[in-house]
Amino acid sequence: MRRVAYYKGCLASLSAKELDSSTKALAPMVGLELVELESVTCCGAGDIHEAEPDYYLHLNARILAYAEATGCDMLMTVCNVCTLNLRQANFMLQGDEELLARVNENLASVGVPAYSGKVDVRHFLWEIAEGEGYEALKQVAHRGLKGLKVAPFYGCQILRPSKIMGFEDPDRPWSLERIIEACGGEAVDYPAKVKCCGFPIIAAREETALGELIQPVEQAIEAGADVMVTPCPLCHLSLDAWQQKLEASTGRAFKMPVLHLAQLVGVAAGLEEAELKFKRHIVDPRPALERLEV
Amino acid sequence: MKVGLKIWRYDSATGDRALREYEIEAPEEATLLDCLDIVKDRHDGSLAYRKSCRMMICGSCGMRMDGAAVLACKTRMYDIAQEGRVPVISAMGNLPIVKDLVVDMDPFWSKFKAMWPWLEPGYDRPDDGREYRISQERMNVIHKEALCINCGCCVSECNAMESDPEFLGPQALAKGMRFVGDPRDGATVERLERYNREHGIWDCTRCYFCNERCPKGVDPRDAIAKLGAESIRLGIDRDMGAKHAKWFVRSTETTGWLREEELIPKTQGYVSAIKQLKFGASLARHGKVRPVPIPHVARDVNEARNLRKVVQEQDREGALGIVQGERALARLAHGGGAESLEEIYARPGAAPRPFLPGDAEGGAVSPPGAGGSAGGASSAGEGSAQGQGSLTQADVTPGKEPTRKRGGE
Ligand code: SF4
Ligand code: SF4
Ligand code: SF4
Ligand code: SF4
Ligand code: FES
């Protein structure tokens, strides 16, 4: 069992509690002991990075410091945007001693432990797409997805900028497909799987955002997908919840269920509704998953 | 060496289009541009593309290779030819195609002009009559933005522009930052007001394609974030995007976690938020938001509040907060951080390159032309039928209308 500091971020704490509960249930099955961070705040999404970038850096440094204080050498995220924010701040601090020293001084002045720069930030997706996690995944996915057609949706900030993310080819990613196949599902392919869902501007520029959101939803349906899966709760929120706005504006019924990564693997691993909490979704995935029963 | 290329030919006058395959003999050091020259000289004189400097400085030769915008003169063909891949070459996206690989740059230049791409003199002349001097530190603020060669690679895949063709876009906005950050410029506030309009900085959807594609390390998305930070620093925050960004700051200070249920009202104002009530109620039914906001407070949130007070007194506000990290992040571009593709595929237990759903267990990589990835290859464009995984972009077919709002209404 590998101990990792678990940063769930805002979404999994609030609107995507189903992500938190399924991650917590699944992690030990794939060899990860989650040490939950208590004293941490929101990472600020792209917003604090844009509104007050110096504060963004300190806020993320504080999260990294508390992760280090748990004695773990890895901080595990379950959200694309958290992953980019924390990795970016981490690289800023690791690559510049002066900056790290200044940030640590400021952290100390408000009573936060120092950060050495030694924590690695990784997304849950990467832990189960390769290496020991992947081997464990193959063992636990015994219930299988029985050929369920799954459309992987990566979203932007787990792939780009690749110099900060760097886990896989940003134009031809494979991690979600590999996991889907290992769980006995069939991965369907469509071009918009690496594009943006429009979430960051969904409140400020709804029309432009919906113009982006429609692409993955439409293409996944065209490709014959039963469900979509995403490693990001923000992508999930727009794909699942804002889908009804797409339906209202186009007059079409999409009804495409969207699963969090931990839920998809969770289904294959035999987790139950108590952990998966599908009832919290706007588009209920249970009818699409019914054929897995028996 | 033998190089195979598939090139999308297109004629806007007739609307004819065709994917032509060429096989040529090229020297090992050949770039994509050299290969196109060989095609034009020896095989097909009618091929149209742009070039000038051949050394990554004029910005003429932007085009797509397998759906991703590149400078043809910066792209070496050796590895691709060794792997036996036959890449698909097409014109850049988000701009109308004139012929073959040549796009109409007029929309690009008109957005560029809308930025006022000149210095508005606004500094005091030094009393001693000497030249106006600027410290290195001040110039570092716009070092990256000043590297732009106007090639359009960033615009090609801009997701916000696909949806809103009027969006000023990454190149123009990065240029804007180049002037906003210049200490000699006297029109900072007027510029920011201008860039804050409807199709300006708050249209950016943070897809990061521009940073990924830029061949010069300009990182336009970061430049846009700098413009946002400067706008907010100077109190230019009427746009819904700015309000949205500020609400995050407020949330971390008060509860630590994002106060999601108040985000829409804080961003759009209460009147339009009320229009969203039905939508909000449906989210509440599924526990997505709480009907009555009860702030959920993170432990020790006062630390975050105090931290903000401390940093606000340290003169690193606005764009400087981003600039201060650039030295460290620049190292990543030289192999100091995340792994390169070669390293990624060399990791023990890594997926085969390129991964196709069919070869999940490390099976053979389909040879080029063998065709057929499992499932849905038809919708994924030419590339996946060539055994290269799916292409990034839907619109590798030239002449196809860019995606308009609401999926092509
Ligand atoms: S797809 Fe949408 S939510 Fe996901 S990372 Fe991109 S912008 Fe964020
Ligand atoms: S650096 Fe610029 S000005 Fe100098 S030779 Fe090169 S292109 Fe010309
Ligand atoms: S990050 Fe913004 S500007 Fe850059 S490509 Fe994406 S939407 Fe366009
Ligand atoms: S920002 Fe980069 S990609 Fe965009 S036009 Fe300038 S040099 Fe080209
Ligand atoms: S020919 Fe000038 S940049 Fe490529």
Cβ <8 Å between A177 and B304: no
> Count of A–B CB contacts within 8 Å?
371
Residue B31 beta carbon below 6 angstroms from any ligand 5 atom: no
Q: Of A55-59, A100-104, A172-176, B295-299, which gets the smallest average pLDDT?
A: B295-299
Distance from C-alpha of B186 to C-alpha of B189, rounded to nearest angstrom: 9
Other C-beta atoms closer than 10 Å to the C-beta of B53 total 12
Distance from C-alpha of B141 to C-alpha of A38, rounded to nearest angstrom: 37
Output the six-digit token pair for A133: 């996690």
Other C-beta atoms closer than 10 Å to the C-beta of B76 total 14
pLDDT tens, per residue, chain B with 409 residues: 999 999 999 988 888 888 999 999 999 999 999 999 999 999 999 999 999 999 999 999 999 998 899 999 999 999 999 988 899 999 999 999 999 999 999 999 999 999 999 999 877 778 888 888 888 888 999 999 999 999 999 999 999 999 999 999 999 999 999 999 999 899 999 999 999 999 999 999 999 999 999 999 999 999 999 999 999 999 998 888 888 888 778 877 777 777 666 666 666 655 555 556 567 667 777 776 654 445 556 667 889 999 999 999 998 989 999 999 998 998 886 655 567 777 888 887 777 766 655 554 443 333 333 233 323 233 333 333 333 333 333 334 443 433 333 333 3
Other C-beta atoms closer than 10 Å to the C-beta of B45 total 8
Encode pLDDT of B137-178 as tens digits.
889 999 999 999 999 999 999 999 999 999 999 999 999 999
pLDDT band at A166; cut points 50, 70, 90 = confident
Suggest the residue from B144, B300, B315 to mutate for an interface test with chain A (most A CBs closer than 10 A).
Answer: B300
Encode pLDDT of A48-74 as tens digits.
999 999 999 999 999 999 999 999 999
Cβ(A245)–Cβ(A210) below 8 Å: yes
Which residue segments constitute the domains of chain A, with CATH numbers given? Answer: 2-123 (1.20.1050.140), 137-291 (3.40.50.11810)
Whole-number Å distance, alpha carbon A215 to ligand 4 midpoint, is 26
Cβ(B175)–Cβ(B200) below 8 Å: no
Distance from CA of residue B315 to its chain's centroid? 29
Task: Answer left, alpha or beta for residue A76, where phi above 0 means left and psi between -120 and 50 means alpha.
Answer: beta
Distance from C-alpha of A160 to C-alpha of B210, rounded to nearest angstrom: 10
Select from B15, B208, B281, B20 the least CA-distant residue to A159.
B208
Whole-number pLDDT of residue B383: 34
Encode pLDDT of A13-55 as tens digits.
888 999 999 999 999 999 999 999 988 888 988 889 999 999 9
Q: Over chain A, what is the mean pLDDT?
A: 94
Of the candidates B159, B328, B389, the beta carbon closest to that of A91 is on B328
The CATH 1.10.1060.10 portion of chain B extends over 106-238+319-333
Query: Average pLDDT of A106-128?
Result: 96
Task: Kindly indicate whether the domain formed by B106-238+319-333 is annotated with CATH number 3.90.190.20.
Answer: no
Output the six-digit token pair for B147: 């590297």
Q: How far is A99 from chain B (nearest CA, A)?
A: 8
Q: Which residues of A touch B394 (CB under 8 A)?
A: 191-192, 215, 219
Distance from C-alpha of A196 to C-alpha of A198, rounded to nearest angstrom: 5
Whole-number pLDDT of residue A69: 96
CB-neighbour burial class of residue B346 (10 A; exposed 0-12, middle 13-18, buried 19+): exposed
Whole-number pLDDT of residue A42: 87
Atom 4 of ligand 3: nearest residue by CA position:
B210
Other C-beta atoms closer than 10 Å to the C-beta of B27 total 12
Atom 3 of ligand 4: nearest residue by CA position:
B214
Q: What angle do CA A213, A215, A219 make, to 5 degrees?
A: 135
Phi, psi at residue B98, to the nearest 5°? -90, -55
Of the candidates A88, A134, A191, the beta carbon closest to that of B391 is on A191
- B224 CA closest ligand 3 atom index: 3
Chain B residue with minimum CA distance to A47: B245
Chain A residue with minimum CA distance to B362: A178
Query: Average pLDDT of A110-136?
Result: 96
In chain A, what is the straight-line distance between the N-terminal and C-terminal CA atoms, in Å? 32
Q: How far is B47 from chain A (nearest CA, A)?
A: 27
Other C-beta atoms closer than 10 Å to the C-beta of A97 total 11
Q: How far is B96 from chain A (nearest CA, A)?
A: 19
Give B2-103+353-396's CATH code, choosing from 3.10.20.30, 3.40.50.10490, 3.90.1820.10, 3.40.720.10. Answer: 3.10.20.30
Output the six-digit token pair for B120: 């508005």
Atom 6 of ligand 3: nearest residue by CA position:
B207
Helix axes B220-233, B240-254, angle to 10 degrees: 80
Whole-number Å distance, alpha carbon B149 to ligand 2 midpoint, is 11
The CATH 3.10.20.30 portion of chain B extends over 2-103+353-396
Binding-site residues, ligand 4, Cβ < 6 A: B 148-154, 170-171, 174, 213-214, 216, 218, 220
Question: How many angstroms separate the most distant Cα atoms in chain A?
Answer: 60
Cβ <8 Å between A53 and B225: yes
Binding-site residues, ligand 3, Cβ < 6 A: B 158-160, 170, 204-210, 220-221, 224
Whole-number pLDDT of residue B1: 94
Residues whose CB falls within 8 Å of the CB of residue B242, separated by 6 or more in sequence, listed in order: A51, B196, B202, B228, B231, B232, B236
Whole-number pLDDT of residue B359: 53
Q: Which amino acid is residue A228, in one-letter code? A: M
Suggest the residue from A171, A228, A277 to mutate for an interface test with chain B (most B CBs closer than 10 A).
Answer: A171
Residues in B 186-245 with any Cβ partner in A closer than 8 A: 202-209, 211-212, 219, 221, 224-226, 228-229, 232, 239-245
A128-to-A21, A26, A167 alpha-carbon distances in Å: 17, 11, 12
Select from B177, B13, B223, B213 the least CA-distant residue to B99.
B13
- CB of B247 within 8 Å of any CB in chain A? yes
For B118, which DSSP code? Answer: S
